[in-house]
Structure 1
Amino acid sequence: MEWEKWYLDAVLVPSALLMMFGYHIYLWYKVRTDPFCTIVGTNSRARRSWVAAIMKDNEKKNILAVQTLRNTIMGGTLMATTCILLCAGLAAVLSSTYSIKKPLNDAVYGAHGDFTVALKYVTILTIFLFAFFSHSLSIRFINQVNILINAPQEPFSDDFGEIGSFVTPEYVSELLEKAFLLNTILVFKSME
């Protein structure tokens, strides 16, 4: 039996997907059962404590909150810009009729059929677009946190006589967790 180039695709792609999904299922399990043994759980708890401390002493720490969140927004903007730049570059290479495609096709492992190579490039393009949209949503949530973390916590009373606050540290923490979840998912994907 002769070795075919598509054998690499038939073996490596399923094994890589199996390892990736297995790792993420294990990570999800550990975060749910013992969150402080993972960096995800530890960082989540630290962010929740940080939001509570900032909102408690808002008069003294409001500039610190804005600067910290601004730096996080700048990081998300850099990642989103990089993703969309890579998408544009990949689309330019794919639509190119010049000789640059030949060396790139030789660098691709596995089968080299037109459909297979196109499928591989479209998959990479889709991953980068997903990363761009995730980082954009992350920036949206951080912008909301940036405004709400410095909002006054004045009590209100509704028609039923219940007293509460519009903005609570728990609500702001949830928004911040959503933002960092969108950031973290893509950071894990880019490190693999």
Structure 2
Amino acid sequence: MTDKDPFHAETTVEPVTALDKKLLSQEKLADGTWKVTYELTASNLSPVADRYTLTDTLRFGDQISVISASVKAAAPGTPVGNPSWNGEQDTLVVRDAVIAPNQTHRYIVVVHADTPASVDGNVDSQCPVPSDTDHRGGFLNLADLTATNGASHDEACGSFDEEPPAPGRLASTGFDGGIVGGAAVALLMLGAALLARRRRTMRARG
């Protein structure tokens, strides 16, 4: 597309499509597995239409296994995501998707993952540092977008550790520490009261 400046010189307007990725939530379920939700957005920032191809790759810690994964469109006008996408063997979300001027396409990625107890607190549960050559860990998710005017990359990650016992709970026995402590204080107070009463009685007799 061309436009004219005040001096009537023709200029070309290039499409610009930007990528953004966010971790929306990570929820530990009752059975010990995790539900992790991400958001992907492709935004055309220009006044001309564009085309893009989008991929999304899961790079979870080595011992974390993916039970299921899905991607779906989450905004009007967003193309239907690839139904066979799983983030591992198949990372394609959409290919050659047409995006209108100043339009945003939004996708939601949901992953159900299993994390063995041995993973809690170790390196596999932590997001990788930039210098990590393997670039894997925690609930890391990588996104790549290729459009007319170039490629862009974004990623999101969540770390997790073993959940600490609830306040007042004795993790090794399951007894409520608050109740046990309160009972001990009550017994001490009762003993002190009985001792004071005994002393008063002995003084009265003397």
**TM-score tier (shorter):** under 0.3
Structure with the largest fraction of strand: 2
Q: Which has the higher relative contact order, 1 or 2, with Cα contacts under 8 A spaced 6 or more apart?
A: 1
> Larger C-alpha radius of gyration, 1 or 2?
2
Structure with the largest fraction of helix: 1
